[in-house]
Chains A and B, each alone.
Chain A
Amino acid sequence: MKLSARRIREFVIEKLIFLSGIASIVFVALIFIFLLREGISVLKTTSLGSFLGGKFWYPISSPAKLGILPLILGSLLVTAGAVLIAVPLGIAAAFYIAEVAPKRWRTILKSCVEVLSAIPSVVLGFLGITVLVPFLKNVLHLPTGLTAFSGSLMLAFMALPTIITISEDAINAVPREYKDGALALGATHWQTLYRVIIHGALPGIIAAAMLGIGRVFGETMAVMMVTGNAAVIPHSLFEPVRTLTATIAAEMGEAAKGSSHYFALFAVGIVLFIISFAINLTADLFLNRGRKR
């Protein structure tokens, strides 16, 4: 009798464990379903083509114009700028930390990177507004410092921890024999680095860059605070832009529930969800390829 009570308890616990195991799948599905539930109604007022490709985002004029092309381009521009800065910088720093830095420094540098990843985005946005934006305005003689470039700088900084830690893992995972072999053949440490180790670590480094891009694309608070939020098609890095994320964060509070504006913001959320899904899927493929080899 005592045994069966234990059996029952174990049965219940193991069922709970299984349910928790699949909870992540359930939550991802719920996110998609509940975005769709509200967002699909945007198609009542606009076609898919004029939603994704429309050049004007005037959500509260009448009739409302709900084209998110300026927002997509804004997000792409800011992301591209951030990636150009963060990817080379992050990979170089990862190589330094993993291969060159003396052991004691390695720990210190890694904790600095960890501190950076822990700083909340709203704090970075606050510093962006109070320090970076006025600085860029003065140095570059711009009419306003609230530009795509400020956003790119901010975001590059926020993507760095992701890029550095994942690249570093990839570099450390390169089999020791590769390195020893190259050194034994008389290659210098530097030659070993950029001729041998970089090849072994490449899939992981690509995954790191992709995850960095994903982080940048979805970032909200900092980018909303420093990019000036002008929902027009951008022509250069030194103009105000508005990203997909910032649009949702800035406008949802004012959009009346059930209005076409409200539905459109959920539809923007669907776009973001699908893009981040695609980025993460690709990054995962690269990570698995790196592990299998």
Chain B
Amino acid sequence: MNNERRRQSLGFGVLLFATILVIIPVLAIVILILTKGWGALSWQFLFTMPKEGMRAGGILPAIVGTVYLVFVSILFALPIGVMAAIYLSEYAKDNALTRTINLAIINLAGVSSVVFGLFGLSLFVIFLKFGVSIISGALTLGIMTLPVIITTTREALRSVPRSYREVSFSLGASRWQTVRHAVLPHALPGILTGAILSIGRVAGETAPILFTVAAFYLPNLPTGLSDQAMALPYHLYIITTQIPGIPETYRYGTALVLIGFVLIMNITATVIRSKTRKKK
């Protein structure tokens, strides 16, 4: 027995060690970017154009570009994703079509992000003649983020108790009325969580925008959906790999703005989720 005890502490020790190996780098990354990037943050850094071949000045165009991309792609993906989730949770029967849809969602989630880039180039930029533009990039990102929205919304809809629907049906409501008035309002926080999570995801993606929207450097801010744009993740990529002699704080600062935006989105989503869980 004593032997087994020892074996147990050894086993748990190994598991703990593995967990520490996972957690330490995460904390190190966040702390490193925070401490090294903090010094670069200023109004000037956030709200002015780059100068001297992007070695000085601010990153405003990259921020504006990313905001554009996030906004347009969510505007496109959120309605489709939510309606798809409503279909799967409230309408679909357990048949071959539903299984195919589920399989397609899993695949959409698993396709390499650079393949999405190729797809966006082929369909939006070339075939539909949108050119290298915000609309091409945003649609590509929107399709890529659909699985996130669909799965979180579906979870939210499924967690609404069955009895709500039954009561609504028994009052003579149609299926859509039931969905609209008895189910959707209760699933709203969950849907919001999904939307915010995908905003974070969209903001951080680089590969899908490489050939569909991203510009190395633009002297002016984009004015419409058919313009090219700079974007934060692509900006970080080029100032890290393509332009020598950029001060390190400038790079860390850009990384901090990007990671800060993504993490704030994630924390917001987590807070909303845990608040609604507590209420139930």
Assess whether B86 is in contact with A218, with CB atoms less than 8 Å apart.
no
How far, in whole Å, are A19 and B110 apart by their CA atoms in the complex? Answer: 22
Assess whether B12 is in contact with A100, with CB atoms less than 8 Å apart.
yes
From B23-31, B43-51, B220-228, give the one contacting chain A.
B23-31
> Does B56 make an interface contact (CB < 8 A)?
no
- Considering only residues 254-293 of chain A, those with a C-beta below 8 Å from chain B are 257, 265-266, 269, 272-273, 276-277, 279-281, 283-284
> Does B91 make an interface contact (CB < 8 A)?
yes
Chain B residues, CB < 8 A from A178: none
Q: Helix, strand, loop or mixed for chain A's interface?
A: helix
From A58-66, A136-144, A189-197, give the one contacting chain B.
A189-197
Q: Size band of the B side of the interface?
A: 35 or more
Task: Give the total of A residues in contact with B, Cβ under 8 Å.
Answer: 87
> Does B4 make an interface contact (CB < 8 A)?
yes
Assess whether A100 is in contact with B16, with CB atoms less than 8 Å apart.
yes
Q: Identify 18 residue pairs between A and B in the complex whose beta-carbon atoms are under 8 Å apart, listed by A's number.
A: A24-B105, A37-B122, A93-B19, A96-B12, A115-B263, A115-B266, A119-B29, A120-B206, A120-B258, A121-B207, A122-B237, A124-B29, A130-B248, A188-B5, A188-B8, A190-B7, A252-B210, A272-B114
The 4 closest A-B CB pairs, nearest first, are A120-B204, A218-B112, A21-B87, A92-B18
Chain B residues near A (Cβ < 8 Å): 4-5, 7-8, 11-12, 14-16, 18-19, 21-23, 25-27, 29-30, 32-33, 79-84, 86-88, 91-92, 97, 100-101, 103-119, 121-123, 126-127, 143, 146-147, 150, 174-177, 200-201, 203-207, 210-211, 233-234, 236-237, 240-241, 248, 251, 255, 258-259, 262-263, 265-266, 270
With A10-B176, A109-B23, A121-B206 already in contact, 4 other A-B pairs whose C-beta atoms are closer than 8 Å: A14-B175, A28-B107, A93-B19, A253-B210
